[in-house]
Chains A and B, each alone.
Chain A
Amino acid sequence: MTDTDPNDRTEAFLRLLAEHERKLGLYVTGLIASPQDAQDVLQEGKVIMWRNFDQFELGTNFPAWARKILFHQILAYRRRSKRQPFQLSERTLELLSEESESAIRERRWVNREKALQQCLLKLTEEHRDVVQMRYRDEASIEKIARRFEKTEGAVYRLLSRLRKNLYQCVEQQTQPSS
């Protein structure tokens, strides 16, 4: 692809990135849990992807290529992170990455994402607000506690229960109907 116009190359990259960025973000967040850290890793990963884009062969599987780069960035992030003692081991991350690959291959997660939207609608308005504050607004537990006049412990437990309920709801919705 070296004979391609560099502008085309840039456009191709931006298009591929725009097309797949969300899913790549989901992949990284699924592996390192903290959405903010995942943003950083994704950001660094995008720079590396751009630097190495001449090694990517147009027409082949961009997200698979990108995930490989991101996985290396995740390991690098894990190694330099101060919270390293609290993180999953490299071996576990490798196994989870393999699990991600098969979920993507089976299109399992596309179905979960759709179901999740349905399940969110089943929450009470207050519970949905709590989820939105934590995820959309990236509010701290403390801030949510103040807003709903609860203790931090209660908010933590509530969020925990909501996540588990959502998981169960999505599981039910994505089971093949008997």
Chain B
Amino acid sequence: MNEKEHDELLDLANDHAEGELSEPQRQRLDDWLQADEGARRIFADFMHDHAALYWDQVSETPADVIDFPASSVLTRLNGVWGIAAAVLVFAAVLFFNMERSGEDSTFATMEKTRAAKWESGNLPTAEGARLGEGSLRLAEGLATLRFDSGAEVVLEAPVEIQLVDQMNCVLTRGTAVAEVPESAFGFQIATPTANVVDYGTRFAVNVDSNSGATETQVFEGVVEVEHPMSNETVRLEAGQRNYVAGDEVSEASSVPEEGDWAQSLPVLRRGSDWTMVPTAKDAYVMSYLLKEHNSEELLLVKNSGTKKGPSRKAYLGFELGSLNLDELAEAELILHFDPTGWGLASHVPDSEFTVFGLKEAGLDGWSKVTMTWENAPANVLGHGAHLQSDAVEKLGTFRIEQGVARGAFGISGSALVEFLQAQTDEVATLIVVRTTEEELPGGLVHGFASRRHPFLPPPMLSLRVAE
């Protein structure tokens, strides 16, 4: 902004302060302020001076700076609260002075931890602890931080984060999911490669611990991903994601459709003798159609018992044909849970999930597109968790604590190993149900990442074959 423009802006601000803007002036000012952040700052500062001239001449100005009659103290504090407020003016001045001299340096609270194991870091980690500037390293579990601005950040281990102030933190590795209310618009998560600025929304950021690459996905609202190296900004809306690595910034893209995402799923190896096999197909069925409460990314599981509520069961298909399972020594099923946003987590008890194997080979041919509650293999229609007992084999259970909606859960053990070895038709179908019924209608819907999830791993069998 050149000097002439700066002067024009102050003139407009002055006329605005006096309530004397003409319509063309108002239009000019309005457009200018919307388009120019620098102008907003100048304007806001000018208007704040204007406000301070009005307020501070009266109640808070030290008497030795400007002399004014004591009676005028009441003129700014009239109306319904006048008397009570006047009584407390003394206290207010006292508080105000305290605030100026030594303000509490904390700005966030460790709201909740689940199965949390902390590594080095210089901040307290107990639930309820107040947090100031410093760092946290979570090795295992989940931790929820609430910033005084209203922003809530859930840390998913392994994760490392530095807290800067109530509107800023730095994520150096791992995954953080932020929920930002209106009061915290502009909340920012900086990473080694990007600044993710939130405008009232729910979003997840993942930082790769080796490369510092940043992946951002928006569930609701709008987020801006700034790339300081190129000064580029990518705006992400609900359902979009992007990726920043080094000097590369990807465009905003929609959460991928089934097809193209599938190709990018490799068989991962975990150590030389472990093989990770993602689902070749996965789906869930629902006892009745609830249009809004569907997900492509998550496989939903819910048990409404025999009640009419929308129960859901998940089906996982693994192709094991290329693997020799004769020497299978260990097997694990790993599911990455993520909040579905439906139902109140805090109102749901600890939940038990059961994983069944589908015994009959002839039933493994189900497809995501055509499978329904009515034709799903082994499904018992009248119940949210039951399956036809002669068609399935119980392989194991796992438990998710009340209030936890994220994290990796699963089963392992000899029942799973033996079931996988017994599969003769190269496809193994596992069925996941929630054994725990909801206590009240409208309870939490659990969900774990499907093979279509943009950044969480798909349901995965981790297999170790003995040498």
- Identify the A interface with B (CB < 8 A): 14-15, 17-19, 21-22, 25-31, 33-35, 38-39, 43, 46-47, 60-61, 64-65, 67-68, 83, 85-89, 91-92, 95-96, 98-103, 105, 108-110, 112-113, 116-117, 120-121, 131-132, 135-136, 156, 159-160, 163-164, 166-167, 170-171
Contacts and interface: CB of A to CB of B under 8 A. Distances in A.
Nearest to B150: A64
Nearest to A35: B54
Nearest to A50: B81
B49 A112 contact: yes
Interface residues of B, number: 70
A83 B19 contact: yes
Contacts of B62: 117
A87 B44 contact: no
B19 A34 contact: yes
Nearest to A141: B18
A91 B14 contact: no
A91 B34 contact: yes
A144 to B, nearest CB: 12
Contacts of A86: 19, 21, 23, 26
The 8 closest A-B pairs by CB, nearest first: A29-B51, A18-B88, A18-B92, A19-B95, A61-B148, A136-B57, A35-B54, A30-B47
Contact of B56 (A27, A43, A117): A117
Contact of A92 (B34, B46, B80, B88): B34
A169 B17 CA distance: 18
A92 to B, nearest CB: 5
Nearest to B7: A164
Nearest to B66: A120
Given A30-B44, A103-B48, A121 B65 contact: yes
B17 to A, nearest CB: 5
16 contacts: A18-B89, A19-B99, A31-B47, A33-B19, A39-B78, A43-B81, A61-B150, A95-B40, A98-B185, A99-B41, A103-B45, A105-B167, A108-B45, A156-B20, A164-B11, A171-B45
A25 B88 contact: no
B103 to A, nearest CB: 9
Quick one: which of A18, A95, A101, A135 has the most chain B CB within 10 A?
A18
B18 to A, nearest CB: 7
At the interface, is chain A mostly helix, strand, loop or mixed?
helix
B55 interface: yes
B85 A136 contact: no
A171 B15 CA distance: 20
B111 to A, nearest CB: 11
B41 to A, nearest CB: 6
A101 B33 contact: no
A18 B95 contact: yes
Given A100-B44, A163-B14, A85 B19 contact: no
A17 to B, nearest CB: 7
B23 to A, nearest CB: 7
Nearest to B47: A30
A15 to B, nearest CB: 7
Given A67-B183, A109-B45, A116-B53, 6 more contacts: A26-B48, A61-B150, A83-B19, A92-B33, A96-B44, A163-B14
A27 B183 CA distance: 14
B72 interface: yes
Contacts of A92: 30, 33-34
A34 B59 CA distance: 18
Contacts of A171: 45
Nearest to A131: B53
A47 B46 CA distance: 29
Contacts of A105: 149, 165-167
A88 B186 contact: no
Contacts of B51: 25-30, 35, 38
A88 B26 contact: yes
B79 A22 contact: no
A140 to B, nearest CB: 11
A15 B96 CA distance: 11
Contacts of B45: 103, 108-109, 112, 167, 170-171
Contacts of A91: 34
A62 to B, nearest CB: 10
B142 interface: no
